[in-house]
Chain A
Amino acid sequence: MTRKLPLLTEDNSPFWQGGAQGRLLIHHCADCTRFFHPPAPICPHCGSFEVTPRAVSGKGKVLSYTINHQAWRPDLTEPYVVAIVELAEQAGLRFVTNIVGLPAEAVHIDMPVRVRFEQHEDVWLPLFEKDA
């Protein structure tokens, strides 16, 4: 499956490249000790600039999902699962991703998942698979 990749910046590269070391890096605020996403130079919760990317467990659960059937590009002939995964570290900490490694029909809300990186050029996409 081909992917339209993100343009890397100082702010977003930890998220998109942490997978090179097998780590899911999420921005964390030292002052209010909360994670936030998407990454930015400032904490949206407390306004602190004391923010750094921090490795999380890579575990979470499916908050919502959809099986895409429409071939938006000629190569997208097979259905694929788009999901929002909420990370185990903090309620509400979440992002859009794909669920892979199991039949699309087997995916359900609240299913436990764990990260699995897929490399495309200099980007390591954080995809998720079922966590046994």
Chain B
Amino acid sequence: MMFDRIFEKDVAITGVGQSEVGRPVARSGMRLTLDACLDAIADAGLTRADIDGVACWPGDNNNGDAFSPVGPNALIGTLGLKVNWYGGGYEGPGPLAGIINGAMAIASGLCRHVLVFRTITEASRRKVDKNASALTNKTIGRDSSFFWQWYTPFNVLSAINLMALYTQRHFHEYGTTPEQLAQIALTCRANAALNPKAIYRTPLSLDDYFASRMISTPLRVLDCDVHCDASTAIILSRADAANDGPNPPIRLEAIGAALHQPWSWDQIDLTATAARDVGEMMWARTDLKPKDVGSAQLYDGFSILTMIWLEALGLCPRGESGRFVEGGRRIARDGELPINTNGGQLSGGRTHGLGYVHEACTQLWGRAGERQIAPHHVSVVAAGGGPLGGSVLLVRD
């Protein structure tokens, strides 16, 4: 991949915000959204009148479903925004699509300050329906989805079955072990202990991991992220408008959004997935190298996906993620590559994408309190699984 114009260099993050994170939180999806967005706008030193764009993934295409109860359409009027551009929708490069789309809107001259947000109320919903958001296709009658029709007839009813197929293949091809995989869950839990907003904070041992319930071999319940109610918001600003606020701007050094394979969960490379294309694209857009990365916030909707991202982003060689995370020392908060420093989604809560961006910025700004890791200037965030994938390389100069 060759690129002669790197649009994201014209864009920086100037503020972040997040609502209460809980399981559940007694607030509506809209109230959580407002909490996060107003927090982020204030953090950037802006007012509502400064926001001229709104981006979200996946938006309210799920019609108010707990997976995404609030989209840009509902937020704009509620918050009294006057925008030049807004966008949502599921069909994009995964949970970071809002960041990528918002950055494109700024770089193309449509906006100066874009509000990117992501709200999720799956914890509240699961009080009513315990399978809410675990089941992937709730259509009534026959399955007409262009992709789920290939899975639901075989009672592949949750994404975990597909993730388990990736995991088993990774074990087979590279000799990765369950003990190695467990280090993702254990590392996240250790980090969550220092995050007052995390859902699960009690210590977790390898024995606890192996005692946890098997869902779809070899994946256990502790390999799955934990549903929560939360909203997260990020302010993107044009580079020439990013120096006026209280925070040092965090530049978007490079983004990855490529998909050079079918949008399919089983027709792609099972152990590299779309993440491979995303990683290749991101590094083709910067002179920085994987060795420059000081912290990594890597999607852990399922633990295997963090392993896949480690390899896809070149943070370890392909097939080596098991040996890289073995024992947990390298990926610990005082290790050579701290990951998921707020507990990830496995223990921190399934904020679904933007939570990683929020944490990366919090660490780069040195505002992480008790869980603050060593000072660093470069952080990588990647989110998604299977055909969904996006990444962003963040730099605080």
Among the stretches B48-56, B155-163, B388-396, the one at the interface with A is B155-163
Contact with B along A93-127 (1 / 0, CB 8 A): 01111100000000001000000000010010101
B326 contacts the other chain (Cβ, under 8 Å)?
A: no
Verify B270–A84 contact, CB threshold 8 A: yes
Verify A64–B169 contact, CB threshold 8 A: yes
How long is the Cα–Cα vector from A39 to B133 in the complex, in angstroms?
29
A3 neighbours in B (Cβ, 8 Å): 152-155
- Taking the closest CB of chain B, its distance from the CB of A15, in whole angstroms, is 9
A5 contacts the other chain (Cβ, under 8 Å)?
A: yes
A63 contacts the other chain (Cβ, under 8 Å)?
A: yes
Contact with B along A17-61 (1 / 0, CB 8 A): 000000000000000000001100000100000000000000000
Which interface class (under 10, 10 to 19, 20 to 34, 35 or more) fits A?
35 or more
Verify B168–A98 contact, CB threshold 8 A: no
The interface centre, meaning the residue of A1, A6, A95 with most chain B CB atoms within 10 A of its CB, is A6
When the two chains form the complex, which single residue of A44, A63, A94, A125 contacts B154, counting CB atoms closer than 8 Å?
A125
Number of chain B residues whose Cβ lies closer than 8 Å to a Cβ of chain A: 40
Among the stretches B120-128, B143-151, B236-244, the one at the interface with A is B143-151
Verify A95–B157 contact, CB threshold 8 A: no
When the two chains form the complex, which single residue of B131, B149, B157, B168 contacts A65, counting CB atoms closer than 8 Å?
B168
Residue ID in chain B nearest A83 by CB atoms: B165
Q: Which of A68-94 contact B (CB under 8 A)?
A: 68-70, 72-73, 76, 80, 82-84, 94
When the two chains form the complex, which single residue of B149, B152, B155 contacts A68, counting CB atoms closer than 8 Å?
B155
Residue ID in chain A nearest B156 by CB atoms: A82
Verify A65–B150 contact, CB threshold 8 A: no
Residue ID in chain B nearest A92 by CB atoms: B267
How long is the Cα–Cα vector from A106 to B216 in the complex, in angstroms?
16
Verify A69–B155 contact, CB threshold 8 A: no
A7 contacts the other chain (Cβ, under 8 Å)?
A: yes
- Knowing A82-B154, A94-B266, A96-B151, the reply to whether A6 touches B161 (Cβ < 8 A) is no
B104 contacts the other chain (Cβ, under 8 Å)?
A: no
A94 neighbours in B (Cβ, 8 Å): 266-267
B168 neighbours in A (Cβ, 8 Å): 64-66, 109
How long is the Cα–Cα vector from A38 to B265 in the complex, in angstroms?
12
A127 neighbours in B (Cβ, 8 Å): 154
When the two chains form the complex, which single residue of A63, A66, A72 contacts B164, counting CB atoms closer than 8 Å?
A66
B214 neighbours in A (Cβ, 8 Å): 69
Verify A98–B155 contact, CB threshold 8 A: yes
- Knowing A6-B149, A80-B155, A96-B156, the reply to whether A70 touches B216 (Cβ < 8 A) is yes
- Knowing A4-B143, A64-B168, A96-B151, the reply to whether A69 touches B157 (Cβ < 8 A) is no
B74 contacts the other chain (Cβ, under 8 Å)?
A: no
B76 contacts the other chain (Cβ, under 8 Å)?
A: no
Verify A64–B270 contact, CB threshold 8 A: yes
- Taking the closest CB of chain B, its distance from the CB of A129, in whole angstroms, is 14
How long is the Cα–Cα vector from A67 to B168 in the complex, in angstroms?
10
Residue ID in chain B nearest A105 by CB atoms: B217
- Known contacts A6-B144, A38-B150, then 4 further A-B pairs from the complex at CB < 8 Å, ordered by chain A residue: A66-B216, A70-B215, A82-B156, A97-B154
Question: What 9 pairs across the A-B complex have the smallest Cβ distances?
Answer: A66-B164, A7-B144, A6-B149, A7-B142, A64-B169, A72-B157, A4-B152, A64-B165, A67-B217
29 A-B pairs in the complex with CB atoms less than 8 angstroms apart: A4-B137, A6-B149, A7-B141, A7-B144, A7-B149, A8-B142, A12-B149, A37-B267, A38-B267, A64-B166, A65-B165, A66-B216, A66-B217, A68-B161, A68-B216, A69-B215, A70-B215, A70-B216, A72-B134, A72-B135, A72-B158, A80-B155, A82-B161, A82-B164, A84-B270, A98-B154, A98-B155, A120-B153, A123-B153
